[in-house]
């Protein structure tokens, strides 16, 4: 490749790049206009937000500041936050138990190891399994956790259990997608080398696939734990347990100083989980 070819390929003003940029700008402008976004509205609404945070003068203690750290209430909120973390942890365990095995059937490379053959009935079976697992993942993650929580509340009643089930089902769909994409991105050479020795699919996955995907799996699992803790705080709005029950109650009754206290507890908890997750991830990178 000569110098002229290199200059031509690295030129940012190629027709294709200009076309992509133009289409992107048109799409952004269309979405901006259709959704009635406006910088002026945001600037005008800033005063309304400050008024809301300061509270309604006709309602005592309706402002968000200062937060209320009364000992009896703080202990109650901390215990409910602990329940929220427990919900997220159990939901994560449930989702990993579902997603981990299914992700190998949602990845074409590992599915070909488990079910060899590219013709006839074998091809039909592989396509059926792959499509079925992908469909389950799409359905479970496309439906929001709140909808799942409402369904499970109607099935098993109020409390943490419907929240755990809702998060578990939704997160399993997300993890199947993430895990399968991670599996499909691995290097093929170790798989081919081990297959050439006559090893079965269990050994191939154990010794050729697992070492490549472990850091990615750990990272995605820990990320979903943080995400599930945040989601679990909202599921309480449906009666599915956790600190969200108190958050919803305080918002409705305009006890906004307590709302601020609860939000501080949520932020601190998520930050602590983030630091713990970072320490665990460092051991696998």
pLDDT at 21 over 70: yes
Sign of CA pseudo-dihedral 120, 122, 125, 129: negative
Other C-beta atoms lying within 10 Å of the C-beta of residue 177: 19
**Farthest CA pair distance, the chain:** 79
Q: How many CA atoms lie within 13 A of 111 on its CB side?
A: 23
Q: Is the pLDDT of residue 179 over 60?
A: yes
Higher pLDDT, 55 or 166: 166
CA dihedral 138, 104, 166, 263 (to 10 degrees): -100
23 falls in which pLDDT band (50, 70, 90)? very high
Q: What is the mean pLDDT of residues 28-50?
A: 79
When pLDDT is cut at 50, 70 and 90, the band that residue 5 belongs to is: low
Higher pLDDT, 92 or 252: 92
Q: Is the pLDDT of residue 4 over 80?
A: no
- Residue 11 confidence (pLDDT): 66
Mean pLDDT of the chain: 82
Q: Does 246 have pLDDT greater than 80?
A: yes
Please state, for a pLDDT cut of 70, what percent of the chain lies above it: 92
pLDDT beyond 70 at 285 = no
Q: Which residue is listed with tokens 């997300």? A: 174
| Tens-digit pLDDT profile for residues 107-134 | 888 888 787 766 777 778 888 888 898 9
| Banded model confidence at residue 63, pLDDT cuts 50, 70, 90 | confident
When pLDDT is cut at 50, 70 and 90, the band that residue 9 belongs to is low
Confidence at residue 2, expressed as pLDDT on a 0 to 100 scale: 60
Tell me the angle at which helices 160-184 and 120-142 cross, rounded to the nearest 10 degrees. 130
All residues at 6 or more sequence positions from 67 whose CB lies less than 8 Å from its CB, including other chains: 257, 258, 260, 261, 264
Share of the chain above pLDDT 90, in %: 9
E strand intervals along 28-86: none
Q: How far is CA 180 from the centre of its chain?
A: 15
- Per-residue pLDDT at 6: 60
Where on the phi/psi map is residue 31: left (φ > 0), alpha (ψ -120 to 50), or beta?
alpha
pLDDT digits (tens, 9 = 90+) for 89-111: 999 999 999 998 898 888 888 88
Rg (CA), the chain: 25
> What CATH number was assigned to the domain covering residues 73-282?
1.10.3720.10
The answer to whether residue 40 scores a pLDDT higher than 80 is: no
Buried b / exposed e along 217-246 (16+ C-beta atoms within 10 A): bbbbbbbbbbbbbebbbbbbbbbbbbbbbb
Output the pLDDT for position 24: 92
CB 209 within 8 A of CB 186: yes
């Amino acid at each position: 490749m000569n110098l002229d070819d290199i200059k031509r390929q690295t030129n940012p003003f190629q027709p294709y790049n200009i076309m992509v940029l133009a289409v992107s700008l048109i799409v952004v402008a269309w979405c901006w206009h259709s959704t009635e976004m406006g910088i002026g509205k945001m600037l005008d609404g800033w005063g309304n937000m400050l008024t809301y945070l300061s509270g309604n003068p006709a309602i005592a203690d309706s402002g968000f500041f200062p937060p209320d750290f009364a000992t009896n209430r703080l202990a109650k909120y901390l215990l409910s936050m602990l329940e929220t973390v427990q919900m997220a942890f159990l939901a994560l365990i449930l989702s990993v138990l579902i997603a981990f095995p299914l992700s190998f059937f949602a990845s074409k490379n590992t599915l070909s190891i488990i079910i060899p053959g590219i013709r006839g009935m074998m091809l039909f079976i592989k396509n059926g399994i792959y499509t079925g697992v992908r469909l389950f993942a799409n359905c479970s993650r496309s439906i929001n956790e709140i909808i799942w929580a409402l369904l499970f509340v109607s099935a098993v009643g109020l409390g943490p259990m419907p929240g755990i089930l809702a998060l578990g089902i939704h997160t399993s769909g997300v993890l199947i997608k993430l895990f399968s994409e991670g599996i499909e991105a691995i290097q093929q050479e170790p798989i081919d080398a081990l297959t050439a020795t006559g090893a079965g699919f269990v050994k191939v996955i154990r010794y050729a696939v697992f070492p490549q995907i472990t850091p990615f799996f750990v990272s995605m699992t820990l990320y979903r734990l943080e995400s599930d803790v945040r989601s679990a705080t909202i599921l309480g709005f449906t009666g599915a347990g956790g600190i969200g029950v108190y958050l919803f109650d305080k918002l409705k009754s305009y006890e906004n100083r307590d709302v601020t206290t609860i939000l501080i507890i949520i932020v601190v908890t998520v930050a602590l989980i983030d630091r713990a997750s970072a320490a665990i991830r460092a051991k696998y990178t």
